[in-house]
Amino acid sequence: MDVPEVPEKVDPDLLTAVLDGRWAELRRGVRAQMAEVEFRDPVALDVEAHRAQVLDQLRELAKTDRPGLGFDPAYGGGGDVGGSVTSFEMLGYGDLSLMVKAGVQWGLFGGAVQLLGTARHHERYLRAIMGLDLLGCFAMTEHGHGSDVQHLRTTATFADGGFVVHTPDAMATKEYIGNAARDGRMAVVFAQLVTGGESRGVHAFMVPIRDESGAPLPGVSIEDCGPKAGLNGVDNGRLRFDNVRIPREALLNRFGDVAEDGTYSSPIESDSRRFFTMLGTLIRGRVSVAGSAGSATKRALALAIRYGEVRRQFAKPDGDEVVILDYLAHQRKLLPTLAKTYALHFAQEELVSKLHDIDASAPEEAQRELESHAAGLKALATWHATSAIQAAREACGGAGYLSENLLPALKADTDVFTTFEGDNTVLLQLVAKGLLTSYKHDFEDLSPLATARFFAEQVVSTVLERTSARKAVEALTVGSDAEVFFRREWQLRLFEDREEHVVEGVAKRLRKAASDPFGVFNAAQDHVLRAGRVHVERLVLTAFAAAISRCADPGARALLERVCDLYALSAIEDDLAWFLGHGRLTAARAKAVTAAVNSLCTQLRPHARTLVDAFAIPEQFLAAPMLTS
């Protein structure tokens, strides 16, 4: 198939400029800082040595201005939320244990103090947190409750002018808590606040867990989670509290407070709504995970594509052995994956920008929509990382299995990204729920009960009022396959039309929920998840198209257009059964989609190296022996 042309050669720096986007200056600065630091591959270290190395690296990092970026300038922070998230993203190029440890310390622990606390907490803790004089934990997940955090069972009961924090049983043990097993001195503990005999829902409390010497404080039991699949430089542990007393001021009281007499007050009346508002303020962590998953993916693809250009196997008719990236099957493994990595990058860039710009005065729907966007992108970006890094490992054969070639650690470290900061399956349900309710419903309450009741009680009219994208897409299908396929407008309308159709279908199914809420919800669950996914895919394509429009250089722009085409057409190919089954593509055109993907692979093959070089990953993170021998 005839694909629109691209120049023979494009300078990767021109692409880097587009990729770097709004925080380009910060990215350049971080790269310069990184260039000074040697990559210390932890592969030969045991768990304790790895943890020690990561803590050392964390202390080195604390000497830069990056940890403070997300904090209040009044206490020495940078007040630059987008820059902070971007800086976490770039930590994803190195040892991911360091990224996670930094994320726990400054993103989760520090972020909770900043965003859930008030001046008294900021004054007391923020500088110490930024400078690592206080290492802390974010103790939310419990053994029995991970996704369903609203039903955590640790309690914080007001008594004698303070709170008593208590773990009622083994299922309420705080689980997988980073910084807990070794380094943390304090924890932000999420617990059911009880005062006057009444529970007011989950709140966060500052609870000291170790003394200066590192010994657990009285009433606090700490257990090491032991070896993990990866991220062994992070000291994850379990925390249990046996009637631990903390002062009244330990409550992070931005969204709810208890007076000296035990009276509870809050600007938000509903316990549930208050809790999900609190959670909503903490989305930076989720956004950072999506970003660093992207960095790990880029690194894996850079390694695999470089290897694909040096590794030869089997002779051609002219006698030369073929470079394996010249095989279509190899291109098919890596290039659509690379295109999707570009697409997700631009979507992430857009999300970070939105996160940076939103303020407290924004309408609640805008906040909910941002949370949905963050949840959906986290799910897609982390699943993409898992499959892309797997593909990269396989594409490097036996060499990819040797630790020295860096892919094993990338695979093992990122594997849990699909689970932590929100299980992906649960997050996609959250996205779908937002779509169906136009972001007007209590948002994070994801129980089947709440969801099903909502639909049983309401007429889901909003989704049905939308204008149909289908007519728009039909007008764009006139022409030869090549003419149609490379129209961005056609691709966008096709994605939009699919989303409308799927969301409407889900709404219709769920409206029957009155009779058997759980049964109806459960029977529609695969459609619910599809709705979430296709919505995010549409956002991603839109973001890619918008990013291209910011590229001034015509050559670089032409190349990005084709990468975007490859993302769009391979996403269509992945979901071809839907497009065929719903009459959106004819059988002939469906076959042509596959031909177009193949043609784009052939066309982009000579640019593969340029496309990964444009990520500008510091070279020390790509120093795999397989590339030089």
Residue ranges in 565-584 that form contacts with a second copy under rule CB under 8 A: 573, 576-577, 580-583
CB of 591 to a second copy, least distance (A): 6
Amino acid at residue number 6: V
Judged by CB under 8 A, the chain residues 452 through 511 that form the site for a second copy are: 452-453
State how far Cα 116 lies from the chain centre. Answer: 21
Nearer to a second copy, 184 or 422 (CB): 422
- Using CB under 8 A as the binding rule, whether residue 310 contacts a second copy is answered as no
CB atoms near residue 321 (< 10 Å): 11
Q: Which stretch binds a second copy (CB under 8 A): 99-107, 144-152, 358-366, 537-545?
A: 144-152
- Using CB under 8 A as the binding rule, whether residue 141 contacts a second copy is answered as yes
Euclidean distance between CA atoms 294 and 301, whole angstroms: 11
Euclidean distance between CA atoms 538 and 575, whole angstroms: 13
Spell out the residues 6+ positions from residue 245 whose beta carbon is closer than 8 angstroms to its own: 162, 163, 164, 165
Nearer to a second copy, 82 or 422 (CB): 422
Nearer to a second copy, 60 or 148 (CB): 148
Euclidean distance between CA atoms 545 and 611, whole angstroms: 17
Q: Which stretch binds a second copy (CB under 8 A): 3-11, 296-304, 307-315, 432-440?
A: 307-315
Nearer to a second copy, 218 or 226 (CB): 226
CB of 447 to a second copy, least distance (A): 4
CB of 148 to a second copy, least distance (A): 5
156, 231 in Cβ contact below 8 A?
A: no
- Cα 24 to Cα 15, 19, 521: the distances in Å are 12, 8, 44
- Using CB under 8 A as the binding rule, whether residue 398 contacts a second copy is answered as yes
- Using CB under 8 A as the binding rule, whether residue 49 contacts a second copy is answered as no
13, 68 in Cβ contact below 8 A?
A: no
- Using CB under 8 A as the binding rule, whether residue 308 contacts a second copy is answered as no
Among 199, 221, 480, 522, binds a second copy (CB under 8 A): 522
CB of 614 to a second copy, least distance (A): 26
Instruction: For residue 513, give the H/E element and its range.
Output: none
Shortest CA distance to 107 belongs to which of 320, 292, 285? 285
Euclidean distance between CA atoms 617 and 610, whole angstroms: 12
Nearer to a second copy, 3 or 24 (CB): 3
Euclidean distance between CA atoms 54 and 586, whole angstroms: 55
- Using CB under 8 A as the binding rule, whether residue 169 contacts a second copy is answered as no
- Using CB under 8 A as the binding rule, whether residue 144 contacts a second copy is answered as yes
Judged by CB under 8 A, the chain residues 1 through 40 that form the site for a second copy are: none
CB of 270 to a second copy, least distance (A): 18
- Using CB under 8 A as the binding rule, whether residue 384 contacts a second copy is answered as no
Residue keyed to tokens 């980073």 = 178
DSSP bridge pairs for 129: none
DSSP bridge pairs for 136: 186
- Using CB under 8 A as the binding rule, whether residue 390 contacts a second copy is answered as yes
β-bridge pairing 155-159 and 186-195:
parallel
Interface pattern 210-239 for a second copy (x via CB under 8 A): ---------------xxxxxx---------
CB of 286 to a second copy, least distance (A): 16
- Using CB under 8 A as the binding rule, whether residue 272 contacts a second copy is answered as no
State how far Cα 364 lies from the chain centre. Answer: 22
CB of 13 to a second copy, least distance (A): 32
Nearer to a second copy, 229 or 362 (CB): 229
- Using CB under 8 A as the binding rule, whether residue 591 contacts a second copy is answered as yes
Among 416, 432, 435, 611, binds a second copy (CB under 8 A): 416
Shortest CA distance to 117 belongs to which of 277, 249, 287? 249
DSSP string, 433-473: HHHHHTT-S-SS---HHHHHHHHHHS---HHHHSPPSHHHH
Judged by CB under 8 A, the chain residues 417 through 436 that form the site for a second copy are: 418-420, 423-425
